[in-house]
Chains A and B, each alone.
Chain A
């Protein structure tokens, strides 16, 4: 080889090498970034708790002070009340607001025996306060003023230290308290995502598989079928936000038939089902293509009808392909956001229902990032959850399609 050719070869090789490195590097960077920002926030608590904090007002049964010793393992930034046996720590919540978190409570602290003070049917029910809740206000009998007074944010105190100092100095006894559960969780979105996956598949799979069976097994092989097929393929190129608009206007009237007049998970599922049709039809057709023609011939030569052939021989042998289609569809549902903003709304719903709006994990990211105080930590924590789910799904797809390919080689 001439040196000129050697040089050209080296340059071309270097370009391919560089391109590969760049893409791998960018991917790795995204992973490192997401994991480093979100890993600390991610825990079991955040997976299983509500996003919206719950407000609870309680009356203390016996608010007389006692003598409590500060536990040794209490962190230095926790402020301890020796007369009432609990500790508060300054913190910032998921909406970036200042909070006082109850970091310690003694077993016989006056706060442990309390009843619900909110009006309603549950008034008077016992309330168990746990650590990690956000204390908003503590009502106490003031020595100075001789009447009930508030301490905490709803008093005039701005820090844990000020609040505790006030109670220690002026508190004759405790009367009640008002607190918020921590919030900032993703349970609601997780449930909504699962419901959306289930509903979407329930709509899209039977329709998509049937359509694929028609196109591949029953339709005459002519121009019309070819045009139908390319139209369906074209659908996969339409941006999902357009499908969102379609869902909002067209499919909305369908959900209205079920008496649902708001954005809802059902509407989101129907819209996503439309988005998934091309994916499922394509994957299923590919699975049908793998089934050897010899089996079709054999079935028909044994006096089966075409539908018997499809249901007894073709579809059972296409199951791995249909499974691949299902897994890909699930990934798509998890990753979708644009179409859902119009059809399911952007309000995080801790108790999702089919007939109500809600957010999936992906849309929750959008919601927590568009508030006045973007919550990067929560957003990246959710991203990690999504990445892990998608990773598991991708590995499953690989395993399933490996099985599919192996099946006919025996």
Chain B
């Protein structure tokens, strides 16, 4: 369906995820059909496609959040750095500390900013306040929220604006030092200014993390991603360098979608 060999050769850093023949079913509905895709490390990969095309489903496979959905069944393999994450031996809790996630709507816990960022570490049993303070500060700095939040670390996170809340959610994920950050339409609930903030942030973060982002906005995908994958009705139609996918799509369906003929 698509040629991934060229793509592999162009990326000496290697792939963090290798997905092979992935089928995902919700009860009887097949959400993904024989998807094979490699996700390169330390790059931004964007998943685009119309609603219901399976892009979020694939995203949720990487940290096994689909496990929570009743009736969800998965065939095929997803390897993370060579290890099958759907293996019985896989420690799902550990996987999720390595693969962080930012959701569509900002969902900070109704607790203080500090406690939000420290949450993941505390769940791992880290209680040392010195470590927690250091990590909270670093994470907030990386998420470009430190300047705004440093004076009210103990204020309830729900008091922050939507954009700030989303950056807090990113900081919360970063605090665990993940290898990958999954972002499920992270700006769809935000205004243009907050969106620009988040996009700048993604630009910074990709130096250290692999980012996979699902987005409805093609301009956003074009702006921030290195690789783009286009999905349609559960099929992976095309994947490649973002500039190529947008300018010289190999598949007519991609061209139609990008040029706005449907979507």
Contact = CB atoms under 8 A, between A and B. Distances in A.
A357 to B, nearest CB: 46
A301 B186 CA distance: 15
Interface string A331-372: 000000000000000000000000000000000000000000
Contacts of A303: 93-94, 96-97, 120, 123-124, 176
Contacts of B63: 301
Count chain B CB atoms within 10 A of each CB in A220, A221, A295, A304 and give the residue with the most: A304
A302 B107 contact: no
Interface of B: 63, 65, 68, 70, 93-94, 96-97, 100-101, 103, 105, 107-111, 119-120, 122-124, 158-159, 169, 172-173, 176
Interface string A13-31: 0000000000000000000
Contacts of B119: 299, 302, 304, 312
Nearest to B101: A301
Given A303-B94, A407-B110, A298 B103 contact: yes
7 closest A-B pairs by beta carbon, nearest first, are A294-B107, A303-B97, A302-B120, A301-B101, A304-B123, A303-B96, A298-B107
A48 interface: no
B96 A305 contact: no
A106 interface: no
A294 B176 CA distance: 19
Nearest to B110: A317
A410 interface: yes
Interface in A238-265: none
B109 A305 contact: no
A221 B107 contact: no
B108 to A, nearest CB: 8
A308 interface: yes
Given A220-B70, A294-B107, A300-B65, 14 more contacts: A294-B103, A295-B107, A297-B68, A297-B101, A299-B119, A301-B65, A301-B100, A302-B120, A303-B96, A303-B123, A303-B124, A304-B119, A312-B122, A410-B159
Contacts of A300: 65, 68, 96
A155 interface: no
Nearest to B124: A303
12 contacts: A292-B107, A295-B107, A295-B109, A298-B107, A299-B119, A301-B96, A301-B100, A301-B103, A301-B173, A304-B93, A305-B93, A312-B123
Interface residue tally on A, bucketed by range: 20 to 34
A404 interface: no
Nearest to B108: A298
A409 to B, nearest CB: 10
B96 A302 contact: yes
A7 B169 CA distance: 62
A313 interface: yes
Contacts of A304: 93, 119-120, 123
A297 B93 contact: no
B120 to A, nearest CB: 4
A297 B107 contact: yes
A301 B60 CA distance: 10
Contacts of A292: 107
Nearest to A292: B107
Given A297-B103, A312-B119, A302 B173 contact: yes
B236 to A, nearest CB: 24
Nearest to A222: B70
A104 B65 CA distance: 81
Contacts of A316: 111
Contact of A302 (B68, B100, B111, B159): B100
A222 to B, nearest CB: 9
Nearest to B71: A221
Interface in A379-410: 407, 410
